[in-house]
Structure formats: structure tokens, C-alpha cells
């Protein structure tokens, strides 16, 4: 099982990710919950210090916080090390300066984050039964989930260019009488491997993953949720139940009365925009909802909702 929990910043997606992961671990599933949000708060919710390597926070439940920046730095360091063995010494300083700038670019960070996430998806069914991803706010989540589809044709284009260049090199070698058998092109082999990896990840995301969008019953989160659902659908990704968080009781009089009227309008609109999906209403709960003990009440509600 692969589940992404996403939504507008501040709607409670990290808390719901942790609670959903706890609900799966209580069913004796080996569950990993990971945060891809640069502003990590999964560790705060679970009351544990987290890093890139998963740590067990409850029997059967592991957690990690992935840093795209750290992943990018490690990848660039590997490329730089390869360059030291392949690039002339007089060119190497310029290459290293370029790589240092590349390590900080958003595209490199997102690509490196996707690589780490691809590794974890590949472990589902072997090391983990369930992977729950606490995603970055909506825009970042949509870009990350659609990145495999965007990268695949770009990598294919690079591979075609490299194949043409290699063909020219072989033609020139034949013209000058160099008939020695040439080694397979390592760059072309690497490009093909990268293309196959992205194609595999795209298939896993579109066939095995569900995205649960989290929304609070207010106008602005509603509008962003509708746009996100359209973008994810256009990319071939499947939506799971929409999770409406912090729903106020309908019979509360007094100060909250007006908010309840607005909430009712938003809930109606959600039902209208997502007629084919389950819309799960989760009440506003007391407490900080931090630590496994407090998350248990929310996990009970998610169990009762039966998200599959």
C-alpha cells in the first residue's frame, strides 16, 4: 500500500499522516511514514527526532524525514567524484563550480528527493507493507508526483542525442580504419537506466498509489484542493478519500454559529466536486495531538472511516 497525504499548508496533513500510519501499524502492517515537506514537523508530531534513516517509533511503525537538499548534495558529490577521474585537470575547477551551483537549484533538489522516494517505493512489499508519505504543501506535492512523467521524455531525448553522437564516433572510426571493438557507451547505458527507473516509478504511482487530499472546511483550502485534484487527475494519479479535518459540531450555538454556517456550505461544495470519492469528516479534537498516545484517537476515527 502506498498513500500520499497532501493539502494546503496548515490543514493538519502531518498529523493525519502520522495517525493513518499508526492505524495501519496497529493492524500488524510494517508501516513507514516519511515526510517530504522541507518544513518537517513529523518528528514533532511523533515526539521523536527523525532523519533520513527510518527509526521505529512504535511496534511496527517506522518514521523518517527526507531532506531533498541533503539528497542533492550527496548526488552532486558522487558526480563530482566521477568527474575527477574523467575530466581533464584544467577543466575540473569549472566543473566543480557548476556542480556546486547545481546542488542548490530547485530542480536538482526535487529530482534527488524523487530518487530517494523511488528507493522507498521499491521497498514496499519487501521491507514495508505500507508507505505513507506526508507531502509538502499542494503545489510542491503535485510537482513531485508528476515529475517522473516529465523527466521520462527529457531523458529519452538526451539518450537519442547521445546515441547519434556515439553513432557518428563509430562511423568516423570506421572511415579511418579503426576496426577495434568499441566498449559500450557508459553514459548511454546510464541514461537508459535512468529512463527505465522513472518509467517504473510513474507506473507505480499511477497504479499502486492513492492520494488523500486534506482540507479544512474553509473557502481557500477548498479552492486549492479542487485545483490539486484536477492536476493529479490530469497526470493519471488516483485520488483516495478526501479528508475534511477539524469539522465543528453542527449544533454548537453562540460564537461558532457563523463559522458553522460557512463550514456547511464548504462541505456541500466538497460533496458536489467529489461525487465519486468518499469525503471523510474528522471532528475538531481537543489536545495537541502529539505523540502516539494522543494520535490514537485520530487513528480510531480513520480506522472507522475504512480508507482501504
Q: Is residue 68 part of a domain?
A: yes
Asked if residue 9 lies in contact with residue 216, where contact means CB atoms within 8 angstroms, the answer is no
Q: Is residue 185 part of a domain?
A: no
Query: Which domain range does residue 75 map to?
Result: 2-143+209-302
Q: Is residue 187 part of a domain?
A: no
Taking the C-alpha atoms of residue 131 and residue 133, their distance in angstroms, rounded to an integer, is 6
- Collapse the DSSP code of 300 into the 3-class scheme (helix H, G, I; strand E, B; otherwise coil) and give the result: helix
Q: Is residue 153 part of a domain?
A: no
Taking the C-alpha atoms of residue 45 and residue 212, their distance in angstroms, rounded to an integer, is 19
pLDDT at residue number 291: 85
Q: Is residue 113 part of a domain?
A: yes
Least confident of 81-85, 213-217, 289-293: 81-85
pLDDT at residue number 200: 87
Is the per-residue pLDDT at 32 higher than 90?
Answer: yes
Q: Is residue 262 part of a domain?
A: yes
Q: What is the bridge-based pairing of β-strands 61-65 and 279-283?
A: unpaired
Whole-number Cα distances in Å, 180 to 164, 165, 177: 20, 18, 9
pLDDT at residue number 165: 54
pLDDT at residue number 127: 95
Report which of residues 92 and 140 the model is more confident about.
Answer: 140
Taking the C-alpha atoms of residue 34 and residue 65, their distance in angstroms, rounded to an integer, is 6
State mean pLDDT over 218-240: 89
State mean pLDDT over 227-238: 88
108 contact partners, CB below 8 Å, separation of at least 6: 72, 75, 76, 102
Report which of residues 35 and 293 the model is more confident about.
Answer: 35
Please list the residues that pair with 34 across neighbouring strands. Answer: 64, 133
Number of structural domains found in the chain: 1
The domain that holds 53 is classified in CATH as 3.40.50.300
Per-residue confidence band for 253, with pLDDT thresholds at 50, 70 and 90: low
Q: What is the bridge-based pairing of β-strands 55-58 and 61-65?
A: antiparallel
Q: Is residue 273 part of a domain?
A: yes
pLDDT at residue number 35: 93
pTM listed for this prediction: 0.78
pLDDT at residue number 196: 80
Q: Is residue 165 part of a domain?
A: no
pLDDT in tens, 189-207: 666 677 788 888 888 988 9
Amino acid at each position: 500500500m502506498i498513500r500520499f497525504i497532501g493539502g494546503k499548508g496548515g490543514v493538519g496533513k502531518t498529523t493525519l499522516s502520522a495517525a493513518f500510519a499508526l492505524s495501519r501499524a496497529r493492524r500488524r502492517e510494517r508501516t513507514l511514514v516519511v515526510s517530504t515537506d522541507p518544513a518537517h514537523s513529523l518528528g514533532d508530531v511523533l515526539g521523536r527526532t527523525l532523519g533520513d534513516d527510518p527509526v521505529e517509533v512504535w511496534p511496527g511503525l517506522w518514521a523518517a524525514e527526507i531532506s531533498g537538499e541533503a539528497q542533492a548534495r550527496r548526488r552532486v558529490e558522487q558526480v563530482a567524484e566521477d568527474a575527477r577521474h574523467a575530466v581533464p585537470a584544467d577543466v575540473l575547477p569549472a566543473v566543480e563550480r557548476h556542480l556546486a551551483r547545481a546542488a542548490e537549484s530547485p530542480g536538482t533538489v526535487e529530482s534527488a528527493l524523487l530518487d530517494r522516494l523511488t528507493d522507498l517505493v521499491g521497498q514496499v512489499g519487501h521491507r514495508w507493507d505500507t508507505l505513507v508519505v506526508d507531502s509538502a504543501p499542494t503545489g510542491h506535492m503535485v510537482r513531485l508526483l508528476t515529475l517522473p512523467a516529465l523527466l521520462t521524455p527529457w531523458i529519452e531525448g538526451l539518450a537519442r542525442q547521445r546515441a547519434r553522437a556515439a553513432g557518428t564516433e563509430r562511423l568516423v572510426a570506421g572511415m579511418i580504419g579503426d576496426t577495434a571493438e568499441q566498449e559500450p557507451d557508459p553514459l548511454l547505458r546510464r541514461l537508459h537506466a535512468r529512463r527505465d527507473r522513472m518509467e517504473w516509478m510513474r507506473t507505480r504511482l499511477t497504479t499502486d498509489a492513492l492520494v488523500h487530499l486534506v482540507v479544512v472546511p474553509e473557502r481557500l483550502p477548498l479552492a486549492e484542493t479542487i485545483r490539486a485534484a484536477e492536476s493529479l487527475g490530469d497526470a493519471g494519479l488516483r485520488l483516495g478519500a478526501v479528508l475534511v479535518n477539524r469539522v465543528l459540531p453542527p449544533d454548537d450555538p453562540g460564537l461558532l454559529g457563523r463559522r458553522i454556517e460557512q463550514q456547511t456550505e464548504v462541505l456541500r461544495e466538497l460533496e458536489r466536486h467529489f461525487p465519486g470519492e468518499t469525503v471523510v469528516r474528522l471532528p475538531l479534537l481537543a489536545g495537541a495531538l502529539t505523540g502516539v498516545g494522543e494520535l490514537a484517537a485520530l487513528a480510531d476515527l480513520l480506522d472507522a472511516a475504512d480508507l482501504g
